[in-house]
């Protein structure tokens, strides 16, 4: 779908509670691309650690990031497309995910700590407790322009956020759907 230079993978990134899974899923539906939640690539030990209210260390994250990078390599190698929701908070994490590829783009969901805290307080059934939000913001190294990132504010509806991402992707033939 789209131009030949379309990325084979989009990684929708940001802190917990920024809407990564919701936006990535809606974007996948809009583009007709497969959606994967990066959380599903976490080993059980990471999930238990976060459930217990403990932030992950870099050593905890490397196997998880490499598992996602392996999936991106598989998908891109088959000429398919995928959208993955993944926090990708540090430059080093994004480097692992990219593995030097130039056919993967990041979509940074940017929001204030106050807005995200409010959303986390309303979220039910997720393993990331709201108390870890401060550590997420402390860890966050916002992506730089050199990372070919698309940055969007989360202070809009999901549809408006997806519209903004699609506009910035500039994929030939992919137009935002008009909602009734």
For 75-117, what is each residue's pLDDT tens digit? 999 999 999 999 999 999 999 999 999 999 999 999 998 888 8
pLDDT of residue 59: 94
pLDDT band at 172 (very low <50, low <70, confident <90, very high): low
Q: How confident is the model at residue 148 (pLDDT cuts 50, 70, 90)?
A: confident
| Mean pLDDT, rounded, of the chain | 87
Instruction: Report how far Cα 149 is from the mean position of its chain's Cα atoms.
Output: 11
Sign for the pseudo-dihedral over CA of 88, 163, 76, 151: negative
Domain ranges of the chain: 11-169
pLDDT at 55 over 80: no
**pLDDT greater than 70 at residue 129:** no
Is residue 175 over pLDDT 50?
Answer: no
Instruction: Quickly count helices (H) and strands (E) in the chain.
Output: 7, 5
Q: According to the model, what pLDDT value does residue 145 have?
A: 83
Of residues 25 and 4, more confidently modeled: 25
> 16-53, pLDDT tens digit by residue?
889 999 999 999 999 999 999 998 999 999 989 888 87
Contact 77, 71 (CB under 8 A): no
Mean pLDDT throughout 133-147? 88
Q: Strand 34-37 to strand 82-85: parallel, antiparallel, or no bridges (unpaired)?
A: parallel
Contact 127, 49 (CB under 8 A): no
Residue 72 confidence class, pLDDT cut points 50, 70, 90 = very high
The residues that bridge with 13 in the sheet, in sequence order, are 108
Query: SS3 for 20?
Result: helix
In CATH, the number for domain 11-169 is: 3.40.50.300
What is the per-residue pLDDT for 124?
Answer: 62
> Based on C-alpha coordinates, what's the Rg of the chain?
16
Are 155 and 110 in contact by the 8 Å Cβ rule? The answer is no
Q: What is the pLDDT of residue 6?
A: 83
């Amino acid at each position: 779908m789209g131009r030949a230079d379309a990325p084979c993978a989009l990684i929708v990134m940001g802190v917990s509670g920024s809407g990564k899974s919701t936006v990535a899923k809606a974007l996948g539906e809009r583009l007709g691309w497969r959606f994967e939640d990066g959380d599903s690539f976490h080993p059980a030990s990471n999930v238990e650690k976060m459930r217990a209210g403990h932030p992950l260390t870099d050593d905890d994250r490397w196997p998880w990031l490499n598992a996602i990078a392996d999936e991106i390599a598989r998908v891109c190698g088959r000429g398919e497309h995928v959208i993955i929701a993944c926090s990708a908070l540090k430059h080093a994490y994004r480097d692992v995910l990219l593995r030097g590829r130039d056919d993967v783009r990041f979509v940074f969901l940017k929001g204030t700590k106050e807005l995200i805290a409010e959303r986390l307080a309303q979220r039910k059934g997720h393993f990331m407790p709201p108390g870890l939000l401060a550590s997420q913001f402390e860890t966050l190294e916002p992506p730089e322009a050199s990372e070919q990132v698309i940055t969007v504010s989360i202070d809009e509806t999901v549809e408006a956020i997806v519209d903004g991402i699609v506009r910035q992707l500039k994929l030939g033939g992919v137009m935002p759907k008009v909602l009734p």
